[in-house]
Amino acid sequence: MVDRDYQIGMMKTAESILDAAEGRALESIERDLAGLGFAEIGADPAAVAMEQREQELYLEIELDPDGRVHGYVLIPFEEKAQKQEPFRW
């Protein structure tokens, strides 16, 4: 069972990294997220998908044609399972 307060705290920390991502190389952002326990589960030129299994979080980073962060989706596994929209991985 995931500690919901800790999960929310992890989401806020990851969001602060992603919100400050403008102009940074994707590799640098991925390193910071890996330090929080996120692991890449898939990638293509338009997106990178990561999971933080301990806190049951799914992250999809959307990239623009130049490979810069365009946006992201960060949700708990439970919410991902309930959503109707498909995710890449």
Q: What is the pLDDT of residue 81?
A: 83
pLDDT of residue 64 exceeding 70, the answer is yes
Token match 């692991």: residue? Answer: 39
Residue 87 lies in a domain: no
The total domain count for the chain is: 1
- CA distance linking residue 43 with residue 54, whole number of Å: 21
Highest mean pLDDT among 26-40, 57-71, 74-88: 26-40
Residue 50 lies in a domain: yes
Helix (H, G, I), strand (E, B), or coil: what is residue 75?
strand
pLDDT of residue 80 exceeding 70, the answer is yes
pLDDT of residue 56 exceeding 80, the answer is yes
- Distances from the Cα of 40 to the Cα of 1, 3, 4, 59, angstroms: 22, 23, 23, 9
Residue 19 lies in a domain: yes
Q: Residue 70: which pLDDT band, with cuts at 50, 70 and 90?
A: confident
Could you list the residue range(s) of the whole structural domain that residue 70 is in? 4-82
Q: Is 86 exposed, middle or buried (0-12, 13-18, 19+ CB in 10 A)?
A: exposed
The domain spanning residue 73 has which CATH number?
3.30.160
This prediction has a pTM of 0.88
